[in-house]
Amino acid sequence: MASFSTNEFKSGLKVLLEGEPCSIVENEFVKPGKGQAFNRVRLKNLKSGRVWERTFKSGESLEGADVMEYDMEYLYSDSEYWHFMRTDGSYEQLAADEAAVSDAMQWLKETEKCTVTLWNDVPILVVAPNFVELEVAETDPGLKGDTASGGSKPATLTTGAIVKVPLFINIGETVRVDTRTGEYQGRGKSS
């Protein structure tokens, strides 16, 4: 793989840093004139999803990382692997392990469209869609007519996620959730 110098660090470039695949988020050249020039770089660790800021000596280079991102459909889990299928017509299937699925796991229902990141052809990160609609499997009985009091209660969804929902939501209803924050957004369209 080619290596890239700090002045080639463009947003979206995938590089290897200390053996971990990262994506460049932002890169700024800083040179006060009386000190060493450096680049202030925001990177995202593609395995953990963690974003952090780091300075590099200007001119330093990093090796590129063989990273691809695909839209894939979630099929099923055999409890060790989570299986996904490409949606580009190739029907190619891939299995992701628990580490890759960790954050997305609680939002995955069959046929959900996810973004799967591959590093050297191995899935390292599965990201659920920003919004999902899931059915409530368990919650305290709803209070009839209470649509205004603003109170909330925990509800367990069919995927196992626990979300705070308004008091009027009942078992069997579908709710719309923002997977980035885990917050209830409203009743689902199918409910």
- Residues binding other proteins (CB under 8 A): 7, 28-40, 52-60
Q: Can you list the positions of beta strands (E) in 78-182? A: 82-86, 93-96, 113-119, 122-127, 131-139, 152-157, 162-166, 174-178
State how far the Cα of 22 lies from the Cα of 46, in Å rounded to an integer: 5
Q: Is 150 helix (H, G, I), strand (E, B) or coil?
A: coil
Nearest 5°: phi and psi at 63? -75, 140
Minimum distance, C-beta of residue 1 to other proteins, in the bound complex (Å): 22
| Closer CB to other proteins, 57 or 164, in the complex | 57
| Closer CB to other proteins, 50 or 180, in the complex | 50
Minimum distance, C-beta of residue 46 to other proteins, in the bound complex (Å): 17
Residue 125 CB neighbour total at 10 angstroms = 26
State how far the Cα of 51 lies from the Cα of 25, in Å rounded to an integer: 8
Minimum distance, C-beta of residue 3 to other proteins, in the bound complex (Å): 16
| Closer CB to other proteins, 27 or 179, in the complex | 27
| Closer CB to other proteins, 60 or 88, in the complex | 60
Minimum distance, C-beta of residue 101 to other proteins, in the bound complex (Å): 28
